[in-house]
Structure 1
């Protein structure tokens, strides 16, 4: 993957950490699209992530906006240029082709790798950053998604995004 990303002409000016940050921001929810969310997800230092985010902003791939409630907090949003870039390079054609050749085994492999990841996360007390809809706090109220942790309604699309506050269903106490 790294070799492919380094050789891809659209990614010539993008460092791997910057691409990882863009990929995260494309999949995370409004509770997680912060510099701290990126830092926690990537497991890197604040300084490294901060410099990478500044570079992405200078390239016009992300924009920062102040939180409406907490003026100290900043949210990061992908620009249309960033979304076009990600759409053009993900998933890598060689990976999609290989998965297609595996037929049903590809789905089984994805399930097993997900299980392996959850076991590693549980065994090492690592945040899961899972899909909202798989969180023990996710529920429906009046036919709409709702977060029981923040006590806020969610949009239907929110349920398909990853969240830094995620708590797997099997962690319910």
Structure 2
């Protein structure tokens, strides 16, 4: 049975990367959770930039997310905007300063070096295996997939425009490569 060893390897890789991340964020007076929230907001689409979506994606309580967002807003890394249709919904977007910070802190240099040393084929195989494992874990735990729009069963192209069939809205090109809370994986053929 190999899974305990694989689990330990994944856990150890995660610990090494988190340690490097903690050091980077400590230099600028932030905790890793602050960076994780900003990284999520940099990657998510307009349907997924809410407090609840951040909490779901990171597996955190709404209280923890709320405190984190307040701090990031005070430091001017993000802005809050009330939804124009549903006034109860607040959207979170990174400011230019927040975007610049996220860009400056990723990817972790040690990870980039390891990727280069592994070679393209090995890294592609690892990427595929881990993607499959993540999908199975999400299915088993009944958690949202937060996949990319273009890999969603609700995604379509009609009259040379990208479309979300769930919301019945046209998508801009930038949305297609972002993660979505409402993602539903296309069935395997």
Q: TM-score range by the shorter chain?
A: over 0.9
SS at match of 2:81: strand
CA deviation digits over 1:31-81, x for unaligned, max 9?
000111101111111111100000010111000011111122110000111
Q: Which runs of 4+ in 1 moved over 2 A?
A: 9-12
CA RMSD of aligned residues (A): 1.5
- Structure 2 counterparts to residues 85-164 of structure 1, below 5 A: 85-103=101-119, 104-164=121-181
CA distance in 2, matches of 1:18, 1:63: 14
Matched, 1:26 2:27: no
- What stretches of structure 2 of length at least 5 have no aligned partner? 1-16
Superposed CA deviations along residues 146-168 of structure 1, whole A, max 9, x for unmatched, are: 00100111001111000000000
Alignment coverage as a number of residue pairs: 172
Give TM-score, length-normalised by structure 1. Answer: 0.94
TM-score by length of 2: 0.87
Unaligned runs of 5+ in 1: none
- Alpha-carbon offset, residue 12 of structure 1: 3.6
Give 1:79's aligned residue: 95
Q: Report the Cα offset of residue 9 of structure 1.
A: 6.1
